[in-house]
Chains A and B, each alone.
Chain A
């Protein structure tokens, strides 16, 4: 499962979580989201998203 980030506004789509408001159940891969879908925060098109990886250290 990957995460994707909108380079226009920084919205993160996490495939593991999906997006309830957008109607994508947990586990929905980004590739299965329709091409005409837009960023829920800023309205940018799907193609401005880039893969995003986050590693945490310290106390979480």
Chain B
């Protein structure tokens, strides 16, 4: 094997390149990214980055010198437009051709777009990349922006609400489900988080569907709900989940189903092609059935698995999915997958304010969610690691 092409220069793609070198791969590595910046970390973009007095420099995934040092051919502002599986080559928008012996899709995900009347109004934002974050930051700094409405109480929505509340703006979060982060966290944890954010001034509207956005002079002015309520809004952030970037894989004839389907080696339906990170869907030893996990930890983990497989090395020890968020001084950490639990037990303390929720199925510990207990994580890791699904 001489040439490996990686599509996507986010955390999955960059770490795959690094892991390949770490595993001793000496051939050519091309890392193709659509953005112009050096590969950067996305998590800060939905947190204090938004309200810092000066726009912070992006935190790089690897130092700028890394790519040359490791002889990784980082192609920035470069878009792949076709994968030809017969010729084993990737066609680029600039006319270039990249032949491969192995190809890794690390194409990530994009914000799910709402198709509602008025969605084209200015001051309606999505948040995924640096450009989105810079635009949102600028809009939030406008003194005329007094009422911020967030559509969707997922992780992005809550992080932005946490960053903005307390800066003198009204913050309203609208959610179609009955609670926030319903896909990733148990109700015990989301009750805790919702209570704290309410105390901090966030208004939550649950079980509410958005019907339209209303504007004046081309700018959004209100969010209309299906029940007729109007929520005055100078700025809207839509955080309605993410969709995997699978089109290139799909057009190349790879099997896709809410993500590019992979086996436990991260291999797609073409044995020379792999998929990792947000765009990949497959089995996980800690989950029932197939999952597509949108976390940094998963991107890193799958990058290492693909690199190990490509270099004929043993896979890293299976690690339970992990995720963290910072919400208004609450360090929220989730380990394992909150699916199929049959009972919940909570240990709570108010001085200092902490929470530990254990999600059990019978005697089996499926996941643990904590708030402000970073020092507990290693012990929990050992406990959950013992519960691998066979």
> Using a CB-CB cutoff of 8 Å, which residues 31-60 of chain A contact chain B?
41-42, 44, 50-60
Task: Determine if B344 and A51 form an interchain contact, defined as CB atoms under 8 angstroms apart.
Answer: yes
- Given the known A-B contacts A8-B178, A42-B207, are A56 and B349 also in contact in the complex, defined by CB atoms under 8 Å? yes
- Residues A56 and B344 in contact, CB atoms below 8 Å apart: no
B343 within 8 A of partner (CB): yes
- Check: A10 CB closer than 8 A to any chain B CB: yes
A-binding segment of B129-137, B182-190, B223-231, B256-264 = B182-190
A-B contact pairs, 29 of them (CB 8 A): A5-B344, A6-B187, A7-B186, A7-B341, A8-B177, A8-B178, A8-B179, A9-B178, A10-B178, A12-B191, A42-B178, A42-B207, A44-B178, A50-B341, A51-B342, A51-B344, A52-B188, A52-B343, A52-B344, A53-B343, A53-B344, A53-B345, A53-B346, A54-B346, A55-B347, A56-B350, A58-B351, A58-B352, A59-B351
Partner of A52, one of B345, B349, B350: B345
Min CB–CB distance A30 → chain B (angstroms): 12
| Chain A interface, number of residues (Cβ within 8 angstroms) | 21
Q: B177-213 toward A: CB 8 Å interface, digit per residue (1/0)?
A: 1110010001110110010000000000011000000
Instruction: Tell me how far the C-beta of B226 lies from the nearest C-beta in chain A, rounded to whole angstroms.
Output: 16
> Which chain B residue lies CB-closest to A55?
B347
Asked whether B187 lies within 8 Å of A9 as measured between CB atoms, the reply is: yes
How far, in Å, is B260 (CB) from chain A's closest CB?
A: 30
Q: Tell me whether B348 is interfacial, beta carbon within 8 Å.
A: yes
Please tell me if the beta carbons of B187 and A5 are within 8 angstroms of each other in the complex: yes
Whether B347 pairs with A50 at a CB distance below 8 angstroms is no
Q: Nearest-CB distance from A25 to chain B (Å)?
A: 25
Q: Mark A1-21, 1 if CB is under 8 A from B, else 0.
A: 000011111101000000000
CA–CA, A8 and B183, complex, Å: 10
| A55 contacts B343, C-beta separation under 8 Å | no
Which positions 135-164 of chain B face chain A at CB distance < 8 Å? none
Q: What class of interface size applies to chain B in its complex with A?
A: 20 to 34
Among B179, B343, B349, B352, contact of A9 (Cβ-Cβ < 8 Å): B179
Known A8-B178, A10-B187, A10-B188; contact A60-B347, beta-carbon cutoff 8 A: no
Which A residues form the contact surface with B (CB < 8 A)? 5-10, 12, 41-42, 44, 50-60
Partner of B187, one of A7, A53, A56, A58: A7
A5-B188, A12-B191, A56-B349 known, 15 other contacts, Cβ within 8 Å: A5-B187, A9-B178, A10-B178, A10-B188, A44-B178, A50-B344, A51-B342, A51-B344, A53-B344, A53-B345, A55-B345, A57-B348, A58-B349, A58-B351, A59-B350
Residue in B closest to A10 when the chains form the complex, CB atoms:
B187
Provide the bound-state CA to CA distance between A7 and B343, in Å. Answer: 10
Nearest B residue to A51 by beta-carbon distance? B343
Given known contacts A58-B351, A59-B350, is B206 in contact with A9 (CB within 8 Å)? yes
Are A58 and B350 in contact, with the CB atoms below 8 A? yes
Give the distance to chain B from A53, nearest Cβ to Cβ, in Å: 4
Tell me the complex Cα distance, A9–B291, Å: 23
CA distance A57 to B346 in the complex (A): 11
For the complex, give the distance between the alpha carbons of A5 and B179 in Å: 13
Distance in Å: Cβ of A55 to nearest Cβ of chain B: 5
- A52–B343 CA distance with the chains assembled, in angstroms: 6
How long is the Cα–Cα vector from A51 to B186 in the complex, in angstroms?
12
CB distance from B189 to the nearest CB of A (A): 9
Closest to A44 in B: B178
Do B345 and A41 touch (CB < 8 A)? no
B190 touches A57 (CB 8 A): no
Is the beta-carbon distance between A55 and B346 smaller than 8 angstroms?
yes
